[in-house]
Amino acid sequence: MPHPLPRRSFCALGLAALAPFAAASTAPPYPARPITLVVPYPAGGNGDNIARVFAKKLADHLNTPVVVDNKPGASGTIGAGQVHRAAPDGYTLLLTVTTQLSSRVPGIKPGYNATEDFVPIVGLTIAPMAFVVPARLGVRSMQELEALTRQRPLSYGSYGVSTSTHIVQHLLLSQMKARDPVHVPYKGESPMVADMLGGQIDMGLVGIGQAREMEKSGRMHTLAVLGTQRSEFLPDVATLSEQGYKQMDWAYGTAVYGSARLPANVLAKLREAGKTIMADPDTQAQYRGQSNQPWVNATVEELRQRLVADTNNWNKVLASVGALE
């Protein structure tokens, strides 16, 4: 008769077999530490304001700190690249405009593919941008601006070379037959607005909230808005398309993204949290208080389709305009 295994050996083998299950059962539930929300825009701008509201709501919902990390520069690729390189564990998320994440900037190799390496978590706001000029320029309509651009060179600011804010204004000024316009790239809205007020540049695209504030103070005039329809916050301002300019139907949706390699349970928890947060009347009220329209009905599939559509649109537009500076 074969000898049975010694009791000590049996216990050792049993413990060894159970070790993986014990480790799994003692793993801390998500989230077990602070979450970083990377924002590829400077502090103080509209994107940063949107992020601050969401970060506070997410922290309260998950009962863990959420830190906003502003990483502007390189047309948004610095911030997105940081999230792409981070461990896919749900502790590093990205808040960005879909058109910026999907943009393909000549001369910059981001190291990621927007539609393959990121997954949408929740849509936050969607709104057109406003086309503004400083009051010192002395124009109050697109017709007056168009006439001025043909008389002398004017400068315009953007959020970086070949970003949507650059492309849109390049197309617009081309249709105006503007005389030698000068492009000045910035890392985001705040520094661009400061220079516009300081007399360094003559026009630019800003968030609706910024436009309303500057209009009330008399420091800027809003001449038009982008997008397929007027903003509910500036109902008297016509769209560029309404005023006869083509290829101006750009919608700016801000959303939160995570790594495409996120564990299914983490992604599900984040999406549930995002859905709950955006259904909260207080969240919607805070965004409306910033002149941002809440993107409350966007499904995950709609967000994914928007990212794919924006990417395809970018490829067509860049092919038509060529290299820009």
- Using one digit for the tens of pLDDT, what is the confidence trace for 120-131? 999 999 888 899
Average pLDDT of the segment spanning 61-74: 95
How many independent structural domains does the chain possess? 2
Residues 212, 286, single domain; the answer is no
Q: Name, in order, each residue with C-beta under 8 angstroms of 270's C-beta and a sequence gap of 6 or more.
A: 90, 93, 121, 122, 256, 258, 262
Q: Is 243 within the bounds of a domain?
A: no
Write down the H helix ranges in 199-260: 208-217
Residues 135, 121, single domain; the answer is no
Residues 295, 216, single domain; the answer is no
Name the pTM for this structure. Answer: 0.78
Residues 77, 211, single domain; the answer is no
Alpha-carbon span 242 to 222, nearest angstrom: 15
117 versus 110: which is more confidently predicted? 117
CA geometry: angle at 291 spanning 287 and 295, to 5°?
50
Q: Facing residues of 130 across strands?
A: 206, 225
Which of 26-40, 104-118, 234-248, 275-289 has the highest mean predicted lDDT (pLDDT)?
Answer: 275-289
Residues 184, 259, single domain; the answer is no
CATH number at 134 reads 3.40.190.10
Residue 298, pLDDT above cutoff 50: yes
Q: In which domain, by residue range, is 193 found?
A: 130-225
Residues 73, 85, single domain; the answer is yes
Least confident among 15-29, 174-188, 278-292: 15-29
- Using one digit for the tens of pLDDT, what is the confidence trace for 12-46? 444 444 444 444 446 689 999 999 999 998 898 88
Q: Is 157 within the bounds of a domain?
A: yes
Residue 11, pLDDT above cutoff 70: no
Q: Is 273 within the bounds of a domain?
A: yes
The pLDDT of residue 106 is: 65
Residues 46, 116, single domain; the answer is yes
Q: Is 242 within the bounds of a domain?
A: no
The answer to whether 184 touches 157, Cβ cutoff 8 Å, is yes
CATH number at 260 reads 3.40.190.150
Q: 321 vs 100, 131, 150, 157, 317, CA distance in Å?
A: 17, 20, 21, 18, 6
Residues 135, 199, single domain; the answer is yes
Residues 138, 207, single domain; the answer is yes
The pLDDT of residue 27 is: 62
Q: Facing residues of 184 across strands?
A: 157
The pLDDT of residue 164 is: 80
* Nearest alpha-carbon partner for 100 in 61, 180, 140, 46: 46
The pLDDT of residue 323 is: 60
Q: For residue 191, with 0-12 CB atoms within 10 Å meaning exposed, 13-18 middle and 19 or more buried, which class applies?
A: middle
Residues 81, 137, single domain; the answer is no
The pLDDT of residue 14 is: 46
